[in-house]
Structure 1
Amino acid sequence: MLAVVAGGLLALLLALADADPSRRNSWFWLAVGLVSAGTLAWSWLKYGRQPAGVRQNNLWLRASTGRGAVAWVTGLVLTGFYVVLYWFSNDDGQGNFGLLTNLVHPLDGLSQALRARPADQWFLYGTFYTLAVLLMGGRALWKYRHSRYQLIRTVSVMFFQLGFAFLIPGLLQFFQQPEFYFSYFWPLKYDYLFPGTVTSLLQKGGLGVFMVFWGAVMSLVATPVLTYFYGKRWYCSWVCGCGGLAETAGDPYRHLSDKSRVAWRWEVRIIYPVLGLIVAITALLWVHFATGGTLLGAAGNVAAKWYGFAIGSVFSGVIGVGFYPIMGSRVWCRFGCPMAAYLGLLQKHFSRFRISTNGAQCISCGNCSNVCEMGIDVQQYAQRGAPIVRASCVGCGMCSTACPRGVLNLENGPREGRTQASPLIHADSLRILS
C-alpha cells in the first residue's frame, strides 16, 4: 500500500511538470485518488488487523520517525511547500500561480462548485490541509479504536476541519458573503477583532453583524467559560484546525517533542510574549481607530502586517508544520500560538480540568511521556501521584490512552482537587513540576 501512496506522489510530480492541461488534470486527480486509497488501505493493514492498543515499537529506530534521512527529507519538502505557498505563488492577474499553477487549476471545477470562483493557491492549501486531516484521521481511528475518547475526539477535529474550516467558508463565498471561519477565534485569528475587520463585517448586513458577535463572544466570553469547565482541550484537541492537523497528520511524530526543562523555559519565553504582542497590537489599533486614525499613522497597520508575516506565516506555517518530522507535531501550539497561551493561563489558574494520577499503580514504563506532544514529562507526575495541572497540556488524553495500568485520568472536578497529591511527595518536587 505504501507503493500506491508513492505512485500517487509520483503522479503529483507529473502533474506539476506537465504543460498539457488535460493530462495535468488527469495526473492530479490520479494522485489524489492513489494517495487517499493507499493511505486508508495502509492504515487498515497496519492497525486494523492487529489487536487494539498503543504500540511504540522502534519509533526511534525508523528513518521516518527517528529524525533519520526520511524525516529530514519530509521536513524539507513540507517547509519548501510552505515557502512557495506564502511567497512565490501569488496570482499575477492571469491565473498564474508560479510553481503551484499546475496544482491549482485542476481544482477549478471543485472551487467553482463550492465557491463560485476559480481556485487559487489558498484553495489548494485548504484542500490539501483538509485531505490530510481526513486521511490521517482515518488512520487515527484505526490506531486508537480501543479508546472511545480518542475516537470521538478524532471525529470531532475531522468534522470541524471539513465543515467549519473548508465547506462553510467556501459556501459563504458562493453566496457572495464574507469568507469567515467559525472555528477560529481571536487571538489565533488575530484580525477578527481588529477594527478594520469589524467595520468591514458590520457593513455586510445581518450576517456580518452575527460574525462580529460570534467572534467577540467566543473569544471573550465562551472561551473562559468553556475552559473553566473543560480546560483548553475543548478547543486545542477538539475544534482547532492547527490541533487537528497535529493530532492526525502529526501523530507519527508526537514522541519527538523535547521534554527537557530547557525546552520548557523557551516555551514560556516565547509563547507569552507572542500573546502579549497581539493583545498590544489589537489594543493600539482600537485606540488608533477611536482617535480618528491620528494616533499611530501607518505604524499600527505595519505592526499588524509584520505580525502576520513573522507569526502567522513563518512561525505557524513554515516552522509549525514543516518541522513536524524533527521537533514533533505541536511546535506551533507549544511555542507560538497566542490562543494556546490564552487558554493555558485560564486552564492553569482558573479551570476545573486536571489529569489525576495514581502513583501506586505506576510501573515507570514511560509510555505516557513518550506520547505527550506538548513536552510534558508525564511520568514524573505519575510516579509521585501528583495531579497534572499544566498550562501547556491540551488534554488530548494520549497519556491516559497509552498507560497500561490506568494510572492517568482526565477529570473536570472541584478546583481544590487540583493540588492534592500523595503525602510522600516533597513540596520542592511539586514546585519543580508545576
Structure 2
Amino acid sequence: MSELKVGLAGLGTVGAAVFRMLERRKAELEARTGRTLRVTAVAARDRSRDRGLDLGGVIWFEDPVALARDGDIDVFVELMGGDGDPAKAAVAAALDRGIPVVTANKALLAKCGVELAQRAEASRAGLHFEAAVAGGIPIVKTLRESLAGNTIERVSGILNGTCNYILTRMAEEKLSFHVCLGEAQRLGYAEADPTFDIDGFDTAHKLAILTSLAFGTQVDADSIYVEGIRQLTLADLEAADDLGYRVKLLGVAVRTETGIEQRVHPTMVPKHWPIAQVSGVTNAVAVDGDAVALTLVGPGAGGAATASAVVGDLFDVARGARGYTFGLPVAELTKAERAAMQRHEGGYYIRLAVVNKPGTAATIARRMADEQISLESIMQRRPDGAETARVILITYATTEEAVRRAIAAIEADGVISALPQVIRIEKD
C-alpha cells in the first residue's frame, strides 16, 4: 500500500487535532483511499512544547518554507495563519514544487487567492481549503462541486462564531455587548484584540471566498461593504425580539441587475427562519440556486471541526482528486461588477435618540417623506427621568441611499442627540 507523506506546518490547536485525527482514523482512511496517510515532517516554532503527540520519527523543520521546498513530502498542510509570510511563502513554495496544498487560512486566500490559484494551475498542483470557511461545514465542496448544476443567486450566512456567541448571550441573558465580549475572551472564543472578529473583517474574508465559488469571480475582499457588531446595544436586540426578529451578523453575496452585491452587517432575520435558530459559536450558510435551496449548519471553528475539514481535503488528495481552485480556471474568473451598497433595497430598523422639543416628530416624519420612505411602524420610549426619548422606526422596502440621506438631514436639523443606529431587515 502506497503512503501519502504529509508535511504539517503549524502544531497549534488545529495542527495537533489533525495529527491526532490522522492517527485515530488511520485504518479507515487506508481502507477508503488505498493509501496510508502519515505525518512525516512538521514545522512549528517551539520544539520543546509538550503537545501530547508522539512525534517520534517525524522530521522537524524550523522553517516552514524549508519544509515546503525541501521536505520529502507528498502534500503540504499550512495551519499557521496570517495573510503574509511565512504562510504565503511556504504555500507558494509547495505549489511551485508541484505538490498539493491544504490550508485553513482564509486571510491568505482572501488576499492572495488568485495568485496562489495561478501557481497551482501552472504546476498542476491542487490547492484545497475546505477548512478556511465555516470550519466543519463542507460549504466549499458544496458550492464548487455538489451544486455545479445550479445558477447561484445568493449565498448568505453566519460565518463568525465569536459574533454569534456574543449576540446569542446578549439576547438570551439580557447582557450588554461589553459583558458578553469579555466572557467570549475568557472562554477563548475571542482574541485579546477582538477587532478582526467583531468589526466584521473575518466574515468578509470568508464571504470573499464564497463569492468566488458561487459566482465565478476573482476573490476580492476589498469590494465588500463591512459593518461589525460593536455598535449594537441590548435595546436593539430587545426591540428586534418585540418585532419578531433576531439579530445576526450576516455575510451576504447576491446577484443583482447591477452586479454582485457583497455585504457584511448586523441583520434582523425572522425568528422562524432556520438561520435565526443558530446560536452560540455555531455557523450556518444558506445557498439559493435556481434548482436547489439549502442551509448547512455546523461548528464553525475549534480544533476538531477544523481538523475534520483538513482531513477531508487530505482524503481527496490521497484519492487523486484535483480541480480548479475556485471552480474555474483563473483566466475565466471575472472581475465582479460591484453593486453599490447604496442601492441595496429592503426594510430598515432605525433607532434615534430624540431631544425633547416641540416639532421633533414632525421633523423626522418630513425627512423620511422627503426621501419617499414609508414607515411600517413607529415606537417611542422615554425612560423615567431621561431628557431624550428612544424612537424606533421600521421602514418598508427602501434603499440604503435614501435611508442615509434622510438620517443625514435629521442630524442636520439638530433633533437627535446621539449617532443613529441602522440595522437592515430581512423579510419573508
- TM-score, normalization by structure 2: 0.25
Q: Which has the larger radius of gyration?
A: 2
Q: Higher helix proportion, which one?
A: 1
TM-score of the two chains, using structure 1 as the length reference: 0.25
